[in-house]
A and B are shown apart, each in its own frame.
Chain A
């Protein structure tokens, strides 16, 4: 057994389930990691804490996950004095062994020997004509409005998309007293039955999911599967007025509403892994590029570990295990011994969760064909209102068959969100127009800053010297 070397400087990016469990394992090994958190408080998105002064109890906020949320928050509280916690701080770039962070208008470069990126995920979006209108939100947004602010995104809300979050958020809205006008799922029920063997890898989660659907049905909320979203209608000033979809029989239905919560499962936030030059691989099952990691969370770059939904979409429980395991891998690589039994146990847990993940991916597939069917006038990039027609024109007239080329020529993915919400759909539109397999059109490269910085951002070093 090798002796531990000099205590390494470790940075953990993210303070959600993966980041907190990673930091905890590092602290237990005698390290004092820096923990970078964009949030005001720990918990990440899934276990996001409500602001000071809000009084809802854990059970009301986190439902069946209340105990897990409380355990994670308590663990973090116990770590507070033993880590260098930087809240409201953005890790905006990475160059060699320095992570560049910004907090308000101050920027700083932090050196690291090893880095654990637990950057989480956002909603994965497939555009529907009219999705740029005021009143359309991601499913995650709808949930944050409720959990963090005790508000609903509208008076009559349609939930549209696919995946477990679709039903979870709809059920949470109904329970909190909001009006859910309909739940429209693009995935047919038949796929759920086919995916059942894999979904049985986590029977307790499956039962919770079925319970959500049953509660929505019991409440009399219209709930349809296998739909094709057609249009989110509305006007320029007031925004959303209704959702039109086509059912499997080909009939059109329009539901009046003043808000839409939409999303098609999640996509990992991979910009930092990209800037660290980690290798990416195309995942044919979910039709997206993911950073390559080994079973413990090691990326292709030495000293860079990836954990949680930012690397593999295993949900909150999976993220806790992945964060823990990545930290143990880091420690093991740094010469710490005696970790093998715990690592083996975590690998088994993750294997089971990965089987369930694949079940979800099969049950609630990314509706790639919807991109092909988008009318030319539909907005793909909400930030700069780049339409499907413009992307197709880029392919046909300018030969922009590679996504970064399309970005350069059409500006798709160049706007405010930097391609987070249009990138996957744009790739599908370009691939379909070019007649290429999706993996052949590539992926939008991550660019620094990974999110906008305040222009007046000033270096802490410069300030100290002045």
Chain B
């Protein structure tokens, strides 16, 4: 699927580019990483317990469902991290670092 979130306003902001699983994407300055990702794709990560894709839940830093990996191995909480130009985000965990079920 394409993006999950739908923009309803505030689209006059400057844009910036980053990559999602290696694919370039253009989003807006001021987007959280969660919103930047979910306006482009349908999920943020795969559940490590084998039950499918996850796309965050609380958006207020309480549930920790939205942690994503960067290509450089950092883990970022997408709902509280502003997207920055040049970020390279992965929506599945690098298997050599973080084994998953299923």
- Report which A residues bind B (CB closer than 8 A): 38, 40, 45, 50-56, 122-123, 132-138, 140-141, 144-146, 148-155, 176-178, 235-239, 258-259, 269, 379, 382-385, 416-417, 420-421, 451-452
B35 within 8 A of A: yes
Interface of chain A, helix or strand or loop or mixed? loop
Bound Cα distance from A141 to B11, whole angstroms = 20
Bound Cα distance from A52 to B13, whole angstroms = 10
**In the assembled complex, which residues on chain A have CB atoms less than 8 Å from the CB atom of B31?**
149
Least CB separation from B7: chain A residue: A151
Contact A417:B10 (CB < 8 A) given known A51-B82, A134-B42, A385-B51: no
Cβ-defined contact, A238 with B59, below 8 A: no
B98 within 8 A of A: no
Interface of chain B, helix or strand or loop or mixed? loop
Least CB separation from A142: chain B residue: B59
Chain B nearest CB from A310 CB (Å) reads 12
New A-B contacts (16) at CB < 8 Å, excluding given A150-B8, A176-B9: A40-B80, A54-B30, A134-B54, A136-B57, A137-B57, A137-B59, A141-B56, A145-B5, A148-B32, A152-B8, A154-B6, A237-B43, A239-B55, A383-B63, A417-B65, A420-B63
Least CB separation from B55: chain A residue: A134
Cβ-defined contact, A150 with B9, below 8 A: yes
Cβ-defined contact, A239 with B42, below 8 A: yes
Cβ-defined contact, A145 with B59, below 8 A: yes
Bound Cα distance from A132 to B67, whole angstroms = 15
Contact A150:B7 (CB < 8 A) given known A133-B52, A144-B59: yes
Cβ-defined contact, B6 with A155, below 8 A: yes
Bound Cα distance from A148 to B63, whole angstroms = 18
B12 within 8 A of A: yes
Cβ-defined contact, A385 with B49, below 8 A: yes
Least CB separation from A45: chain B residue: B60
Cβ-defined contact, B62 with A150, below 8 A: no
Bound Cα distance from A176 to B7, whole angstroms = 10
Bound Cα distance from A177 to B8, whole angstroms = 7
Bound Cα distance from A45 to B62, whole angstroms = 12
Bound Cα distance from A383 to B63, whole angstroms = 8
**In the assembled complex, which residues on chain A have CB atoms less than 8 Å from the CB atom of B17?**
none
Chain A nearest CB from B2 CB (Å) reads 10
**In the assembled complex, which residues on chain B have CB atoms less than 8 Å from the CB atom of A150?**
7-11
Bound Cα distance from A353 to B4, whole angstroms = 39
**In the assembled complex, which residues on chain A have CB atoms less than 8 Å from the CB atom of B5?**
145, 149, 151-154
Bound Cα distance from A384 to B29, whole angstroms = 34
Contact A149:B32 (CB < 8 A) given known A382-B65, A416-B64: yes
20 CB-based A-B contacts, threshold 8 Å: A54-B13, A54-B30, A55-B12, A122-B58, A135-B55, A137-B57, A140-B60, A150-B8, A152-B6, A152-B8, A154-B6, A176-B8, A176-B9, A236-B52, A238-B1, A239-B4, A239-B42, A417-B64, A420-B62, A451-B62
